[in-house]
Amino acid sequence: MYRQPESPSTPPHTVAEYSPAERALLLRVAHDAIASTFERREISLEPPSEHLAQPRGAFTTIYHRGLLRGCVGYVLPVCSVYRTVAETARAAAFDDSRFAPLRSEELPGLQVSLSILSALKPIQPEQIEIGRHGLVITLSAHRGLLLPQVPVERNWDRETFLAQTCRKAGLPENAWRSGATIEAFTAEIFGDPGTEGK
């Protein structure tokens, strides 16, 4: 059973939009969406407030005893942030092709981190701020995304961040210099205790 954290924390590079109570609700629905799959029960995806009914892109990252176990998200705001969190939590637990599906015995050690995305905006390479911006790079049918915390965790500079986002898209690392579209977003990042800085 998911235990509500006393105070879901926010890394220093996060712009806070959601209250502590809203963060706790979003973390709870993420955990409940995963647990309900094992229990074969339905959960309500009706947003409990007007704010949580707003469409937003979001990524859910799950860890088991501190180790990455899955990460799936929606770049674009296709439905309410409340439903998006539930759907991406289930997908991170069961549909991330890099990992085997989550097992029920892993639930007690499960931790969730959420990244709620702003709208995408075009950006020039020199305007990118490490720790503030996530990136989406697109060229033809190729698209790659990296969250704002990734370059901080890996100690990347701006050019490395751009190159690695191109690589994530399946593009040459210098594609950002030659025709690719560069878009940026910010994210409010919060999670269960123990996920700070991940």
Percent of the chain with pLDDT over 90: 83
Backbone angles phi, psi at 99, to 5 degrees: -130, 155
pLDDT digits over 28-37, tens only? 999 999 999 9
> What integer pLDDT is reported at residue 24 of this predicted model?
96
**Is 3.30.700.20 the CATH classification of the domain at 20-117?**
yes
- Look at domain 121-185 and name its CATH class: alpha beta
Residue 116 pairs in a beta bridge with 58, 188
Q: List the beta bridge partners of residue 55.
A: 80
Classified as helix, coil or strand, 181 is strand
- Residue given tokens 């704010």 in the structure block: 51
pLDDT of residue 16: 81
Q: How far apart are the first and last CA of the chain?
A: 23
Write out the two tokens for 194.
């123990």
Q: Are 93 and 37 in contact (CB under 8 A)?
A: yes
Question: In this predicted model, which residue has the larger pLDDT, 4 or 166?
Answer: 166
Strand, helix or coil for residue 69: strand
In the predicted model, what is the mean pLDDT of residues 188-194?
Answer: 90
Q: Is the pTM of this model over 0.75?
A: yes
Is it the case that residue 2 has pLDDT exceeding 90? no
Average pLDDT over all residues of the chain:
90
Name the DSSP letter for residue 109: G
| Predicted local distance difference test score (pLDDT) of residue 15 | 52
- What pLDDT was estimated at residue 160? 98
Please compute the mean of the pLDDT values over residues 116-124 and round it to a whole number.
94
Q: To the nearest whole percent, how much of the chain has pLDDT over 70? A: 91
Please name the helix (run of DSSP H) or strand (run of DSSP E) that holds residue 83, with its range, or none: helix 81-94
Structure confidence by residue, pLDDT tens digits, 43-89: 999 999 999 999 999 999 999 998 999 999 998 899 999 999 999 99
Q: Tell me how crowded residue 103 is: count the other CB atoms within 10 A of its CB.
A: 10
Domain locations along the chain: 20-117, 121-185
CB 128 within 8 A of CB 158: yes
Edge-first strand listing for the sheet containing 142-146: 121-122, 181-185, 134-139, 142-146
